[in-house]
Amino acid sequence: MPVSLAKLSPRQLDVARLVSKGLTNYQIACELGITENTVKLYVSQVLRLTHMHNRTQLALAFSPGKSAERQKLIESQD
């Protein structure tokens, strides 16, 4: 299944980008001015909506590089 980040809300995209940079939930919460529990909720929503299983897959989806190769890596974990 192709990864569709287009269906994410602007706030979910913000959280996803920060996750992909390797920030912790606490760091994301501080950066966005929200609680750590809210970050956890957004991360769960993003993973569910994109059919990803973990933060590593999310980081790969946002990383620059060969998109076909990256897509293979993401889908191989499904």
Specify burial of residue 67 (Cβ count, 10 A radius: 0-12, 13-18, 19+): exposed
Query: Residue 17 and residue 62: Cα distance in Å, rounded?
Result: 7
User: Please, are residues 28 and 37 in contact by the beta-carbon 8 Å criterion?
Assistant: no
User: 3 pLDDT band (50/70/90 cuts)?
Assistant: low
pTM greater than 0.85 (yes/no): no
Give the pLDDT confidence of 50-75 residue by residue, as tens digits. 999 999 998 888 877 655 555 555 55
Domains, the chain, ranges and CATH? 10-76 (1.10.10.10)
Angle CA(58)–CA(46)–CA(26) in degrees, nearest 5? 80
Q: Write phi, then psi, for 3 (nearest 5 degrees).
A: -75, 125
CB 58 within 8 A of CB 20: yes
